[in-house]
Every structure is written in structure tokens, then in C-alpha cells.
Structure 1
Amino acid sequence: MSARTEGAGPAGLASALVASGALRDDWIAAFEAVPRHLFVPDRIWPGIPDGTRQNPLVDRAADPQAWLTAVYSDIPLTTQWDDGRHTGDAVGTRPSSSSSQPSMVFAMLADLDVADGQRVLEIGTGTGWNAALLSHRVGAEHVVSVEYDPVVAEAAASRLRPTPTLAVGDGRQGYAPCAPYDRVIATCSVGEIPLAWIEQTAPGGVIVAPWGPEYGGEAVVRLVVGEDGTAGGHFTRSSAFMRLRQQRPDLPPHDTYLGGRDWPADGVRSRTSLSPAEVGGWLEQFVIGLRVPGAFWTVERYDDGAYTLWTYSSTDRQSWASVDYEPGADEFKTVQAGPRRLWDETEAAYGWWVRSGRPGFERFGLTVGLEGWTTWLDPARN
């Protein structure tokens, strides 16, 4: 059953992607030759554009038109939950595989700036659609795709014709047998760029990957590999991808910090004029994550619209802060405990961002090397 006979197809999506600038002339032929519906399983949970929430199951057998509409909408589609352990029709706990939002797919491919015949390494095969697009563009013999989940990899392999080199394994290790690569692209987010990706990329080559700090926020970074074995470049756009499985954070539970004691335990009370609502945006989280390393947060919500923002240190596993948000308030109660004063650090990070002119993702950059990674604001672009 083709998209055309079901009464819908890729034409509308292509028009929208071209109009938005995501789908450029050099990728239109691949888009037309590799229709998305051939790479989407029958059971999907459609998402929303920012990728942070999933809608109820759409089953192709039960409602083929709804399925097709979802496939040719500019939204991500969750295709697996909880590393394959989830069963049933409800949403699972953690999405673990998906078909990425088409506008993001083609925006990242534009960032990759691939040329005919270049060798490309993809981390995260997923449904196989991105690997198929790359194979059409540069030739399947020049594409290597690595997938950690063997079930996901097997399903993708059944859809890919012609078939690129497919490997099942830890994406952090890249795929050395076919190195060096001219381009590396990750379809999962990372908090650390694996050195193997840099080592397996030829000098002057490009690595495109969603990157985000532990605290939150995320953006796509475009790194150029140098002769000295480092890689650096600017972020290009906001993103919201599933984390590379081996880099998922193992965060201590709330009780670790209060040690079984009732709040405020041994915390120091104060007040702040900075509303917790001001630091909750995706960009704000990203900036705080850069300036307040080794921290994460949760929210405890109440029926009246009030909530408590909890911040914790993952490095010392002792420090914590709470800030109580009340609608309409001008000041907010805070409590801080432990070696770090996490709300003070958060306020300082937010203040720095405001004084810097509230820069967007594209003004930040990342440099990665043997000694670790650093982020920066506004140096000359690579």
C-alpha cells in the first residue's frame, strides 16, 4: 500500500521543509527516493516538534490514514520504549528509539555538508531512514551505521536497500574497520563527545551531534577536526534527542541528599528575587548547565500552580537547594545545604547570561580534545 493510494504522501511535507529552509536542493532527490513511510514501523507514538512529549499510540492496522498523517507530519515518532521491555499500547517510561523529526534530520544533514563519495559514519541507526538518505546521497558503500540495540538494528537492516555497512555495538567506539571518515553524525545526544569519533575522522572532517550538559538543555554542535587531534565548532540549533544509552545519567535519588530527614534538614533559609520560572527554559537550562557543572534538577508540583524547584549536585552527592515558586510572588523562599550553594551558582549563571546579552545557542561553541572539553562564547567560527 503506497502513500499515494492512501490519499497522502511526502509532497506536502517536502513543501513545508523546503519553505522552512530545512530541506535544501541537494537533498530533495534523496527525500523523494527514500520515502519516510518505508522506514516507520506499524506502531508509533507521534511526538511534538520539540521532542519532549509523546501522544497516544497510532496503529497502522487500526487507522492507516492516521498513521500516514503522522508519518508525513514534521514531528518525531517514538518507535520503542524502555529499551524494548515495554509492551502494550500506553506510553512507556522512557522513549528509547524513534524516527527523528524530518526538519531536524535535514537541518543536521545540511550541517554535515557531505559531498559525493565521502565516507560517513552514523551513530544510531534507529529506523534506518537517515542511513538510507545518506546512502542515496553518497552511495551505500560509503556509509557505516552503528546501532546498539540488536532488535532495532535487525529491523533497520530489513528496510535498507541498498544496504550500507551496519554494525551492532557501542556507538562510543565508532567503527574503526572503515575509518577514517570524512563525516560523522550522531542521531542520539551526548554529554561527552567520544574521542574515538575524533580519532576516526580525517583532519578537516566534520562531526555533527546533539550535545547537552547534565543540567538540561541541548543543541546540535558542528565540530571540525584539526590536525592536532582536537575538534571544535559552534552550536547550530536547539535539539531534543534521546541520550546515547551508555551516557544516560545515573542520578542519586532525592532521599540521598536529605538523608531521610524532613525538609529543610540542615539547610540555610533565604529569599531570592529570581523566579524559578525564569531558569526553566531550554536555552536557560543549557546556559546554567555550562556554568554549573555536575548539577541536575527536579520539580515537585502542587495543585494551586505552585511548585518547588529542587537542584542537586551529582559530584559531591551532598549539596542541594530548593526554591518555592508561588504564582504572582515577587520573592521566593530558598533553602541551600551542603558544600555547594547551588541556587547561588544558578543565580550567578543566569546573571552572566543576561549581562552577556542573552545569547542564543548559535553563539556558543565546544572544543574537545584529550584533556576533555570546554565551551565558549563568540570566538571566530570554525
Structure 2
Amino acid sequence: MDNGKREAGLKGLASVLLEKGTIESDWLPAFNAVPRDVFLPTRVWPGIADGTKQAAAIDRTNDPERWFEAVYSDIPLTTQWDEGRHSGDDVGITPTSSNSLPTMVFTMLKDLDVQLGHQVMEIGTGTGWNAGLLAHRVGATNVTTIEYDPDVARDGAANLLALGIQPNLVVGDGRRGHPRPRPYDRVIATCSVGSVPYEWVEQTRAGGVIVAPWGPTYGGEGVVRLTVRESGVAEGRFTRSSAFMRMRQQRPDRPPHHLYLRGEPWPAGGVMSKTSLSPARVGGWIEQFAVGVLVAGAFWRTERYQDGSYTLWVYSLDTKSWASADYEPGADDFEIVQAGPRRLWDEIESAYDWWQEHGTPGFDRFGLTVGKTGQTVWLDTPDRLVALIPHH
């Protein structure tokens, strides 16, 4: 890539981020010194800024102009599908590595509040761009970055080396962190978790900060900023919504549909009823988060039809319970079927009612406390417990 195109791309994206207020001026030297294009492979799958969908691959060899435009746009770029097993131009099943949305990268770095000389641990090297930005800020020898996938780690290391940046890159299980002679001042995860590993807390000094995307199994996710206390507890609020790939070791095993209905004729042992709560009203990101915090061990899928209607299926991870909710545009009530020891739709309704009764709180009203035995989600203040979630 010629320097003129790179400089124009950097200038254009910086202007967008500055106008949005998502990059601070003190990060501009790192932004310019660690150009995003160095960290992208020949093929990328562009995403959209406010969603989780990706388009077909753009190949730099065949279409360098579109590739360059995507790289210097404020969009996420998927770089690997299905742990490297997918090689086609269309999207795969599960995205497993990416170069994150620049707005999210720099707002999370703002949350991290990293300063010159800080010891920083990053969980999820990926393409290496975030590690490179941190290294420019605090010095490469002060950055430890951990990547689970050896192939992703190899490519990330090569990208960093192309700019002469050599942090301490560890191939290993990010849940375990990586202890150093002295504790970290800052820890940042570039993958989402449903449980903040306590090892991260133990490896962070008192007063240190942990920034990570966190979300329940059901859905919804936000960035949480935790401060480690002298007591060994980490506590803090959520700062914004997010949509990151789940840490591989914490991905829940979502059993297939047939294990629930077991081939029985409809309603497959379920109890039929009606509800006035539209399935569409519990589908938003913050609604999913609130429901997921209160309805543990559950997940959902949708079955969509040509007329705009759909069935929302909700399942328990243990395969013992399920529910279906049939959505029809313009309907006032909706057919529900529930089976198993848990009445999952009833649980969802109760969670949604709780969220409504508390003023439909956004992410910034929720907080998280992480201790040795588990984590608690709270609303407004740590003493207002919403849910207790054990470590896993």
C-alpha cells in the first residue's frame, strides 16, 4: 500500500472518530504510528457498526480499493471463521477472530485509562492491532498479550513485527492470565466473557483496572470497568453496550433443537397458553441482557417465516426445558408452549417485568462485583443485588 493512500485513510478515519468523540487526541500518535492496514490479511469480511452481521469477503488482491475503504472505515472486520476451518468467500458459521470496530477499540482504551509505564495484560491478541496501540503507549516490554489460537498468534506476531513491535506474546489459555514478577496495572479483554476469571483479579494490583466485555448466556453484552480493591474483590459499572466474540473456553454448548422435542407430536409434551408480551419486546440488546442476568442457563433461537412472523424458541442448557413463543405482526396476544421443569417463558416475563418496574435501566446502571467464589450483578449500587453468578 502506498504511503499516500495510507495517510489519506488514517486522516479520514481519525476525522470520523474525532467527530464521534470516540477517540481522545492523546491516542492519535498511536493511531497514526500503528496503522490498521498492517494488521489485516488479504481477505476480510466487513461487518456493520451497530450489529453482528458480516458481508462476503473482500479480497485485497482482486479489489484493493474496496479492501482499503473497508480497512479505514469505522466497522469491524472478521478475519477468521470457525477456528480457521472455513475458507470460502461467504460467511462461515461462527466468527472466531477479528479486527474490532475502531470506535469500540478506542472507547475501551479510554475506559482502561492506561498511562506511560503501566504493566498491561491483554486477553485476545487477534490481529495484534490493539496490542500494537498499547505498546506504542506504554512500551512493548510492558505489554503481555495472550492468544489461544496458535495460527492467530503467529499472524498477530508477524503483523506487530512488521512495525518493529515485540510485546510479550503468549500462546495459551487467556482465562489463566500470565503472572509476572509484579502485578499488572491494567488488564483488557478483547473477547467477551460470561465469567470474569478470578486469576485476572489476582494478577492485578490493588487500584488497578480490568476492562472486559461481559454478557450472560442468553444474550446482550456490555463493557464493564472493574477496579481491584485491597480486599481482592474487583468491582465496577458497565460503561456501554458491546458485541464481541466469546472467549473460546467460555462458549456455551448449545444443544440442537431435536434434543428438546424428542420427535414427539406437537405440542411435544408442552403446555399451551397465551401471552400479551410480544416476543419482539424482549429482543433488544439491553432487554436480552436484563433477561439473561435473571434467567440463567438459557439461550434462544428464532425460526422465521416469509410473512414476517417467527417462532422464538427458548431452551435450557441442560436440555430438560424449552418454550416457544409465536410472533405475528399486529397481534395483541401470542401463543406460548412451555415444557419441562422450568417454565422458561414465565421466567422471561418475570425478568422483563422486573426491568420495566426498575425504569428500563440501560447498561450504565448495571454493575459487576467479582470475588473468589463468583460474581454478582447489581443495579445502581453494589448492595442492590440482581443476580449471583458462579464462576465457570
The alignment's TM-score, normalised by the length of structure 1, stands at 0.97
Give the aligned partner of residue 98 of structure 1. Answer: 98
Name the counterpart of 1:336: 338
Instruction: Return closer, same or farther for 1:193/1:7 CA change in 2, 3 Å cut-off.
Output: closer
User: Shift in Å at residue 51 of structure 1?
Assistant: 4.5
Aligned match of 2:221: 218
Summarize the alignment of residues 86-125 of structure 1 with structure 2, pairs less than 5 Å apart: 86-125=86-125
- 1:83 Cα deviation from its structure 2 partner: 0.4
1:67 corresponds in structure 2 to 67
CA distance in 2, matches of 1:307, 1:51: 20
Q: Deviations over 1:93-126 (max 9, x none)?
A: 1111100000000000000001110000000001
The reply to whether residue 294 of structure 1 matches residue 297 of structure 2 is: yes
Q: Deviation above 3 Å: which 4+ runs of structure 1? A: 5-8
Matched, 1:10 2:10: yes
Equivalence map 1:125-144=2 (5 Å): 125-144=125-144
2:386 corresponds to: none
Aligned to 1:85: 85
Taking structure 1 as reference, are residues 179 and 151 closer, same or farther at Cα in structure 2, changes over 3 Å only?
farther
* 2:250 is equivalent to residue 247 of structure 1: yes
Hey, what's the Cα distance between the residues in 2 that align with 1:378 and 1:199?
26
- Whichever residue aligns with residue 163 of structure 1, its letter is Q
> Residue 366 of structure 1: SS of its match in structure 2?
strand
Q: Following the alignment from structure 1 to structure 2, what is the Cα–Cα distance between the partners of residues 6 and 36?
A: 9
Instruction: Indicate whether 1:313 and 2:316 are aligned.
Output: yes
* Inter-partner Cα distance in structure 1 for 2:333 and 2:269: 22
Evaluate the alpha carbon distance shift between residue 243 and residue 178 of structure 1 in structure 2; reply closer, same or farther with a 3 A threshold.
Answer: farther
The residue aligned with 2:390 is none
Q: Which runs of 5+ in 1 are unaligned?
A: none
In structure 1, C-alpha distance between the alignment counterparts of 2:129 and 2:340, rounded to whole Å: 48
Please tell me whether the aligned partners of residues 369 and 382 of structure 2 are also in contact (alpha carbons under 8 angstroms): no
CA contact (8 A) 1:3 1:68 kept: no
**% same residue:** 64
Matches of 2:179 and 2:315, distance apart in 1:
38
C-alpha displacement at 1:132, in angstroms?
Answer: 0.4
Alpha-carbon distance change, 281 to 178 in structure 1, aligned in 2, over 3 angstroms: farther
Aligned residue pairs total 380
Cα distance in 1 for partners of 2:76, 2:333 equals: 39
Change (3 A) 1:356 1:5: closer
1:12, CA displacement in angstroms? 1.2
- Pair 1:6–1:363, CA change in 2 (3 A): closer
CA offset at residue 259 of structure 1? 2.2
- How does 1:1-382 map onto structure 2 within 5 Å? 1-5=1-5, 8-160=8-160, 161-177=164-180, 179-314=182-317, 316-379=318-381
Displacement after TM superposition at 1:6 (Å): 6.8
- Which secondary structure state, in structure 2, belongs to the residue aligned with residue 177 of structure 1? coil
Aligned letter for 1:276?
Answer: P
Change (3 A) 1:84 1:15: same
Describe the superposition over 1:6-53 as per-residue Cα deviations: whole angstroms up to 9, x where unpaired. 784111110111111110022111111111111111110111013411
TM-score normalised per structure 2: 0.94
Amino acid at match of 2:26: D
